[in-house]
């Protein structure tokens, strides 16, 4: 029971952070192509396009302004980067997108208890 409740709040936090990230990207002139695209190798949080560049955006969030467990951006480790890269390859193949330029960004979002944004950082070309 308790684990289920934790899972829902984690899902809600992730959804709130992804929504905030998508709205920020749209405001910055990005066109959102896909959100939460899944395949066997993993999931892409946001796939966007701007100036003929396909941008794969990994959204990471934390609640509160503490860095006790590291910043949201620091939670993107080598294993995660590799998984996102592999998933991006599958995505491009599946969608038959031939592009010379692809970029991997990270959106680091700090949320408060009400799941509104305290701070958001868009890290371009993060990995």
pLDDT for the residue 15: 93
Higher pLDDT, 3 or 102: 102
Q: Tokens 């031939």 label which residue? A: 98
Confidence of residue 4 (pLDDT cuts 50, 70, 90): very low
pLDDT surpassing 80 at residue 78 = yes
How far is the C-alpha of 21 from the C-alpha of 93, rounded, in Å? 25
pLDDT interval class at 8 (50, 70, 90) = low
Q: Assign 100 a pLDDT band (cuts: 50, 70, 90).
A: confident
Q: What is the pLDDT of residue 10?
A: 81
- pLDDT score recorded for residue 1: 42
Domains of the chain: 2-123 (3.40.1350.10)
* Mean of pLDDT values over 74-99: 92
pLDDT in tens, 14-73: 999 999 999 999 999 999 999 999 999 999 999 999 999 999 999 999 887 666 667 777
45-48 long-range contacts, CB within 8 A, separation 24+: 45/18, 45/21, 45/107, 46/18, 46/21, 46/22, 46/107, 47/91
């Amino acid at each position: 029971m308790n684990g289920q409740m934790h899972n829902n709040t984690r899902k809600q936090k992730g959804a709130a952070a992804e929504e905030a990230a998508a709205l920020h990207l749209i405001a910055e002139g990005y066109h959102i192509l896909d959100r939460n695209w899944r395949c066997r190798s993993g999931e892409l949080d946001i796939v966007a396009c701007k100036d003929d560049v396909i941008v794969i955006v990994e959204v990471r969030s934390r609640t509160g302004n503490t860095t006790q467990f590291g910043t949201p951006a620091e939670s993107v480790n080598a294993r995660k980067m590799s998984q996102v890269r592999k998933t991006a390859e599958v995505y491009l193949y599946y969608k038959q997108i031939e592009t010379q330029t692809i970029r991997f960004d990270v959106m680091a979002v700090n949320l408060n208890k009400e799941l509104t944004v305290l701070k958001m950082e868009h890290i371009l070309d993060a990995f």
